[in-house]
């Protein structure tokens, strides 16, 4: 089964009687453990038009040196605009996509392993 087929099943209303939010939790966990937030930021530099993420420019407001990634927790944080979160919320905010689209987008782009979820 492909990743898209797995996501289709997990997000389909016809999928069993299981709690969909609970099923999606497993997808979010896979994404968080397999998608590198630093790689995501580098990959999306062009679409968010900021040149120097590595040095801490915020992708939302461009404020300099205020944007940090905490390596251990894989969370981003901007001291200036107060935006913070994980790679999922970063993707949703930056690309202005609803969470379900973010799941498809990140799983496909980073080839997240979803095997065993359905």
Judged by CB under 5 A, the chain residues 85 through 104 that form the site for Zn ion are none
From candidates 61, 74, 77, 117, binder to Zn ion by CB under 5 A: 61
Q: Is 67 exposed, middle or buried (0-12, 13-18, 19+ CB in 10 A)?
A: buried
In whole angstroms, give the CA distance from residue 82 to residue 67.
9
**In the bound complex, what is the minimum distance in angstroms from residue 54's beta carbon to Zn ion?**
16
Q: Which is nearer to Zn ion, 32 or 63 (CB)?
A: 63
End-to-end CA distance of the chain: 9
Quick one: which H or E segment has residue 33? helix 20-34
Q: Which is nearer to Zn ion, 40 or 60 (CB)?
A: 60
Q: Which is nearer to Zn ion, 26 or 93 (CB)?
A: 93
C-alpha 85, offset from chain centre = 10
Reference 59, options 8, 32, 95; nearest CA is 95
Told to check if 78 binds Zn ion by CB under 5 A, we report: yes
Told to check if 81 binds Zn ion by CB under 5 A, we report: yes
Q: By CB under 5 A, how many residues form the interface with Zn ion?
A: 7
Told to check if 58 binds Zn ion by CB under 5 A, we report: yes
Query: What residues line the site for Zn ion (CB under 5 A)?
Result: 58, 60-61, 63, 78, 80-81
């Amino acid at each position: 089964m492909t990743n898209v087929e797995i996501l289709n099943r997990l997000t389909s209303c016809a999928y069993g009687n299981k709690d969909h939010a609970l099923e999606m939790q497993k997808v979010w966990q896979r994404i968080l453990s397999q998608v590198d937030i630093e790689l995501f930021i580098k990959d999306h530099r062009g679409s968010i038009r900021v040149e120097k993420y590595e040095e801490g420019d915020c992708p939302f407001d461009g404020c300099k040196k205020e944007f940090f990634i905490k390596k251990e927790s894989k969370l981003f944080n901007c001291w200036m605009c107060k935006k913070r979160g994980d790679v999922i919320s970063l993707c949703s905010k930056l690309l202005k996509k609803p969470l379900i689209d973010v799941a498809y987008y990140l799983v496909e782009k980073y080839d997240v392993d979803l095997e065993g979820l359905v």
